[in-house]
Amino acid sequence: MRYLFIISFIFLAYSCKPSEEKGKDMSKESDATTVSQHQKDKNDISAISTKDFREFKVLDSKYINTNELWDAINADLNDFSEQQYQALKPLILEQDIPTLQKHMVSGKLSYENLTKFYLYRIQKFDRGNPLSLNSVISINPNVIAEARQKDMELLNKKLKHPIFGMPILLKDNINTAHMPTTAGAVALQNNTTKDAFIVRQLKAKGALILGKANLSEWAYFFCGDCPSGYSAIGGQTLNPYGRRVIDTGGSSSGSGVATAANFCVAAIGSETAGSILSPASQNSVVGLKPTVGLLSRSGIVPISSTLDTAGPITKNVTDNSIVLDALFGEDKADPKAIYNLWESPFYYRSLEDVSLKGKRFGAFKKLMEDELYAQAVEVLKQEGAEVIEVEALDVKLPEFIRLLNLDMKKDLAAYLADYGNSKLGYASIEDIMAFNQTDSLNVMPYGQKLFHGISEDASTDNEFEALKTVLKTNGQRFFDEPMTAHNLDGILSVNNYHAGFAAVAEYPALTVPMGYTEEGVPKGLTFISSRLREKQLLEWAYVYEQASKMRKAPESYN
């Protein structure tokens, strides 16, 4: 039962456990110690779990000059005043995409002013002040000019998709032109690239790339003993519901924080196991981790080609469905791509017509002790759903970390060769580790424990395939057995508690705000179902969201 408890709270339960290494200078650890620890850690998922830090070694970025961040945009932003900002707040703050588009068509709002509004808020709140969140790493220097172009195109009736003209932030492990893609790492601070496939998808439908969001460095598969939301490039991302008190979740920390604080219409995150679900739930927003292969991974700094996926983070379910619809498409360069599905638009159609009558969900008995979860279950019942309490299976995920080690060793090298900037001169993870040692205090103040593990790990092809098969089988069993036994449509979880199982099963999961603890910590109700059931997850979450209306914007940023 002890293992069941630990694994059911995967990637988050450890956040209440103080790190035993907090006072240790990880930049000075010996290779021998690291390798020995690596052998012990292959099954220890706490290494990539969020941790509850109160004292940070580093808070503000040593690599972002705030003035330089805005130099390219200030001339276009100088004519936007506090008076204009206050006048636009009722039209923009917390509004969904369809509402914003109605304001465009009616003439109450322009894409240029919408873009300037978000830039003004980022400049006002994100860095260098008592409310700073450190959620944005870079700004697209052309975004205001691009917004003006969208206004011209609207006059010519070129609005064909709801994402048209909407300013979107990208997690800074997603390649895009005009801004480097750093993964939060100093080694990649000059990694200028072409657009990733999903960025081309967004732009083709008219979306505006506003900038890049901070993240847990290397998607939280780097240090092992550091707080979520930290990167050397971006500094320490902080939670708008409780700066330096409430964990941001990771690794898409900046994407979750920026969305919650209304710094963008939506943000794109990425997940290997919990990296969208965690920051979305911790910041009271909606996060979707799709079926692996639904969205392209080409041009995204990887951890695992087996498990990685991008996904949308939004303030509401409607926007999440719109962004997902803009992202998906067939990428022949992605070996796990799912081909010949449906045509856009698909995901955001008919959400308002959905009912939960006749739907059957499994609720874990242990989680029913959580008051917010129990209340959410009652809301679903009131909406017509049947909820059956089930016991979580005693299923293990052996050598989970080893899967990530083995994948990242080859996948990062492939990214550097195929999608990174060739002038950087890196060909392997060892090259980056060597760079990090040149200025360890600034480049890796928490060490690079997990990178050591990656470097030292190895297996035969047969061993690796067997490892992946066991993990995928176990992950699918965890959901499939109760779903089959009780004829369930989906499973109900909390935050990212079962993200590890969904990851190895390659199943989709969606989290939606379900309230706040007595201490004000946000929590999310997480829907999980089988392969390619994103539309159903969105429909169920929409009904719950509309019935419960639990999201509240962070007070200090209104």
Report, as residue numbers or ranges, the catalytic residues: 171, 251, 275
Q: Mention every residue, 6+ apart, whose C-beta is less than 8 A from residue 412.
A: 301, 302, 428, 429, 432
Lookup result for tokens 């509402």: 99
What does the CA dihedral 261, 265, 270, 273 come to, rounded to 10 degrees?
A: 60
Structure tokens given for 161: 């998709």
CA atoms within 13 Å, Cβ hemisphere of 348: 21
- Please give the C-alpha separations between residue 531 and each of 97, 115, 363, in angstroms, as whole numbers: 27, 36, 19
**What's 212's DSSP letter?**
E
By CB atoms closer than 10 A (0-12, 13-18, 19+), residue 40 is exposed
Lookup result for tokens 């830039």: 119
H-assigned helices in 9-162: 31-41, 66-77, 82-92, 97-106, 111-125, 143-155
Would you list the DSSP string of 359-423?
-EEEEETGGGGSHHHHHHHHHHHHTT-EEEEEPPP----TTHHHHHHHHHHHHHHHHHHHTS-GG
3-state helix, strand, coil in the chain (%, to 5): 45, 10, 45
